[in-house]
Chains A and B, each alone.
Chain A
Amino acid sequence: MASVEYQGLVKNFGSIEVIRDLSLTVEEGEFVVLLGASGCGKTTLLRMTAGLEEISGGDLFIGGKRMNEVHPRDRNIAMVFQNYALYPTMKVFENIAFSLQISKVRASEVRRRVEEAAAILNLSEYLDRYPRELSGGQRQRVAMGRAMVRNAQVFLFDEPLSNLDAKLRAHMRVEIRQLHGRLGTTTIYVTHDQIEAMTMADKIVLMREGQIEQVGTPDDLFDSPRTRFAADFIGSPSMNFLEGSIEESDGHAYFRSPGLRLSVPDKMAENNSVTAGLRPTDLVIEDSGPLVGDVILSEKTGADVNLHVRTESGPIIVTVSKEMSVLAGDNIRLTINPEKLHLFDNPNGVSLRSN
């Protein structure tokens, strides 16, 4: 186990800057998820950690030691690739044992460690098979087994679940998380899937265009997004955004938008161009609500229903329980608790709430 620290990290591909002055600390034993859209540099950051990409500037420390020029095999890390990168000509046992065999570990010790890892991962009966004879989830587990036997200081996962179907993905999320609980190894996990990030992370690092947008616990990111980008990225369905302004009248502050006036906490200063963010789950149907609209579509997701509503201020989505029988064509009124309203300054998108 070791901490990972990035200090002012930079990565250029030719004249293109993919990582810009990035600093971050991953504590020992922490499960950190690098989250972001494709092309935001999260995989590049992971590959730099592994030593598969050169570092153009700044420093990388693993376990307190500077690792910039250290060869991948000497960093004592293990990595699980998106396509698993299993060795197709070797059986499962050899796949898991490979790293031990080439570092000249005694055969009996190799067998013991492989069997131990296989037992944890429910792979014991598949050790004699070739990777092509395994299902997607089993291959995924072999890839993890390969990482486990190494006793590596840091585990790196590069979108490991993206090739699995939805059900298996949910299952593997739990398995990976349980494995982390059991081994306690510092883990850096890259994904573009915010649900994976929310369900698995101790700490989410949201990235955008090679920089960190926000770092925090899943709750931090969900409840207090620091920017409009962060607010938009986390949560499904995504947050609704309405353009408007903050005005003061008779001592209270209000968010104003065409045909709408919402109370906001009084400490807000007047501002003539803001974006209000309303989580679909925070909106409540109420007869006297200030937000009026027509339901144009209702989407069932099981326990909940997502209502697509057309309002004067723009289209919004509201998540309500399915017991609320609202049908397409209905006219509804909505309200939101002022504490749950997110407000972002235009055009820089920085949150006006708190800090």
Chain B
Amino acid sequence: MMRMLVAYMVVALFMFPLYYWGTTAFKNAKEIFNTPPNVWTFSPTVRNFEEVFGISLGFFRQQEVLPGGGNFYMAPRLWDTIVVALGSTVLSIIVATLAAYGLSRMNFRGRHAFVGWVLSTRMMPPVAVAIPMFFIYKNVGLMDSYLGIILIHAVMNLPLAVLLLKSFFDDIPKDIDECALIDGATRWTIFRRIVLPMAKGGVAATAVLCFIFSWTEFIFVLTLTQTGLKTVPVVSSSFVTSTGTAWGNMAALGVAATAPAFLFILLVQKQLVRGLTLGSLKE
């Protein structure tokens, strides 16, 4: 009984901010600032969403179409975020699976030092890298482009992705590779037809981590973009204006931005659970 109570309390502790933030998106400005706050009772409105996405949800409420746009028009930003997160995840996974397989199975000079090198790239705080990156991007012409942001996110994700995938590959018995080798398979065939399908769960788990990282990354998008694209974490800060903070709009964007990430995780969830437990279950 006590345990149940504690469990519920912990869940409540984590869920309440989400609930409060989610409901804020459906409150009008006055209700947001009520004291005491209207936690459970308020008159829901979709106005915040209409403003943020420049659309009219008139079928919810009889009202004229809002003039779409202004500072708060965020629909393209949501699209930017999706492109960047998917692009960098795909790129990370392609490079990381190949690198991880090599690290797991092949012998080459410096293989053991490799893990140290890979990790060392993550030891610096991103801010320390951001300024040099700004100048590099400016000169190379990657500034303010999808490719630039996808690249930097992939680069940031690679170390973790490679190490994670390497551990998944390490869990697959080498005998299987050797058996396939004798069966006449090339390394590439072994990778594509045998090892990769076996590590599906691990790949999914890694993809989720990469996706979430890119989805929430702030500092590089802030420094390496100007007007061409912006992702949700960065544009969220634009709701803080000289005339006040648009809490309702910010919450609306946040709620909308959760949906794609949620959807992505839902899609790979089946693989994910297996991936996270892979290795503990040896056949």
Contacts and interface: CB of A to CB of B under 8 A. Distances in A.
Nearest to A52: B178
Nearest to A87: B194
B192 to A, nearest CB: 11
A89 B184 contact: no
A87 B177 CA distance: 9
A79 interface: yes
Contact of A89 (B181, B185, B194): B194
A269 B283 CA distance: 59
Interface string B163-184: 0000000000101101111111
Contact of A73 (B173, B183, B197): B183
A81 B175 contact: yes
Contacts of A89: 194, 197-198, 200
Interface in B9-63: none
Nearest to B199: A89
A24 to B, nearest CB: 21
B197 A85 contact: no
B183 A98 contact: yes
B283 A102 contact: no
A300 interface: no
A144 to B, nearest CB: 12
A73 B178 contact: no
Nearest to B179: A85
Contact of B182 (A77, A82, A88): A77
Nearest to A78: B182
Q: Which of A50, A81, A146 has the most CB of B within 10 A?
A: A81
Contacts, number: 57
A73 B179 contact: no
B274 to A, nearest CB: 12
A225 to B, nearest CB: 34
A73 B184 CA distance: 4
A265 B22 CA distance: 99
Interface string A145-161: 01000100000000000
A185 to B, nearest CB: 15
A313 interface: no
Nearest to A94: B193
Interface in A63-97: 72-73, 75, 77-79, 81-83, 85-89
Contact of B181 (A73, A78, A82, A88): A73
Given A89-B198, A132-B283, A79 B184 contact: no
**Max chain A Cβ within 10 angstroms of own Cβ: one of B182, B198, B200, B283:** B182
Contact of A72 (B176, B181, B283): B181
Given A81-B175, A85-B173, A88-B198, A50 B182 contact: yes
A135 interface: no
Contacts of B71: none
Contacts of A81: 175, 178-179
Interface in A270-295: none
A311 interface: no
A103 interface: yes
Given A73-B183, A73-B184, A132-B283, A102 B173 contact: no
Contact of A102 (B178, B179, B184): B184
Nearest to B194: A87
B175 A99 contact: no
5 contacts: A72-B181, A85-B175, A98-B180, A98-B183, A132-B283
Interface of B: 173, 175-176, 178-185, 189, 194, 197-198, 200, 283
Given A72-B181, A73-B183, A81-B179, 10 more contacts: A50-B178, A52-B182, A78-B182, A81-B178, A85-B173, A85-B175, A85-B179, A87-B176, A98-B180, A102-B183
